[in-house]
Amino acid sequence: MSKTIAINAGSSSLKWQLYQMPEESVIAKGIVERIGLNDSIFTIKYGDGQKFEQVLDIKDHEVAVQMLLDQLIDLKIIASFDEIAGVGHRVVAGGEYFKDSVLIDDDVLAKIEELSEFAPLHNPANAMGIKAFRHILPNIVSVAVFDTSFHATMPATNYLYSIPKEYYDKYAARKYGFHGTSHRYVSERAAELLGKPLEETKIITAHIGNGGSITAVEGGKSVDTSMGFTPLAGLTMGTRSGDIDASLLPYLMEKTGIKDINEMIDVLNKKSGVLGLTGISSDMRDIESGAEEGNEDAILALDIYCDRIRKYIAQYISVMDGVDAIVFTAGVGENADPVRQMVLERMTWFGIEIDKEINQNTHGKEAEISTKNSRVKVYVIPTDEEVMIARDVARLGK
């Protein structure tokens, strides 16, 4: 009987959940927002619907961590820090160093910071969270759980780009993939719902939120995924372009007068996707509303969005030479029933058939949305990256 904290640190945020292990029951959860800015928001949810919220200035992650731990005691969620046996940190980029979750030491932390060039918006923030906890609770088990590690099982056929091989050998230029912890969780859960050993399954997982990725999971292992060297590749997303012809970049830079390649990449990351196509929003709910109102840009953006998801799913059926189940997860995947229907209604040739009524009534909850006659099972499974982090802490902390 021990308690574990799962941490997801952003550049100005700290999201967390406190688990009772091995039961995996959530004791408390919360988020600290606007760290380093004025009017930081500090929120804890616990007990039977109880909530603590405070607005104040929080200068850095270490202060946020200290406040979090102090409030766990003040609110009598824990009696002392000794009850916390371990902390698990989500880290976005593990590069080629980390093929699995690892216990954190000075060398691991140094490598996480070194890998910031692969995830400049994420790894530095992840490292800040790690440093804060190590300083305040130096003796507890500390584990790094990498978004990329689940995809370390991809064969070279699928992770190498068709560029000079020396770029991979010298600079580790390759596909890494992301959202791995989510893809791992929902594929394992799908195998349970299928009633088959994970090692005997072929599952396509669609993690679709503001960012999105599709993964082919064969025998419980990632064999291909849509995101690439960075999270920019693959699907059309909320603000990210997804796949484009690289030669388009210098052409657009010449036409627009953009001089810096980083500025152009920023456009592809933050001003493209459905936001760029419509000028309305990066939120799929707003795009769906616009389409319902007859906005032609919204209708087209929705078609493009679903088309890219559908193409990757079809591609990965070929990669695995078949599929047992398709899983939708994350914000859009769990809640946007029109997106799920649009993606799958043109895949009937594969024997995929969804129950439209069940699909329309499934939002944010686990359900099978395929019909009894469908040759491929289709599930909606809410993702739970935090519980996977807690499990890895328990596994490595033994």
How crowded is residue 307: how many other Cβ atoms within 10 Å of its Cβ? 15
* Residue 334 marked as a ligand binder: yes
* Residue 331 marked as a ligand binder: yes
Written as one string, the DSSP assignment of 327-359 is: EEEHHHHHH-HHHHHHHHTT-GGGT--B-HHHH
* Residue 385 marked as a ligand binder: yes
Beta-strand relationship, 13-21 and 84-91? unpaired
Instruction: Give me the tens of pLDDT residue by residue for the chain, a chain 398 residues long.
Output: 589 999 988 767 788 999 999 999 999 999 988 888 888 899 999 999 999 999 999 888 888 889 999 999 999 999 988 899 999 999 999 999 999 999 999 999 999 999 988 888 788 888 988 998 898 888 899 999 999 999 999 999 999 999 999 999 999 999 999 999 999 999 999 999 999 999 999 999 999 998 999 999 999 999 999 999 998 999 999 999 999 999 999 999 999 999 999 999 999 999 999 999 999 999 899 999 999 999 999 999 999 999 999 999 999 999 999 999 999 999 999 999 999 999 999 999 999 999 999 999 999 999 999 999 999 999 999 999 999 999 999 999 87
Q: What is the gyration radius of the CA atoms in the chain, in angstroms?
A: 21
Active site residue ranges: 147
Helix axes 248-256, 261-270, angle to 10 degrees: 100
* Residue 359 marked as a ligand binder: no
Distance, CA of 299 to CA of 11 (rounded, Å): 34
* Residue 15 marked as a ligand binder: yes
- Compute CA distances 68 → 53, 131, 138, 191, 353, whole Å: 11, 15, 16, 36, 47
* Residue 210 marked as a ligand binder: yes
pTM: 0.91
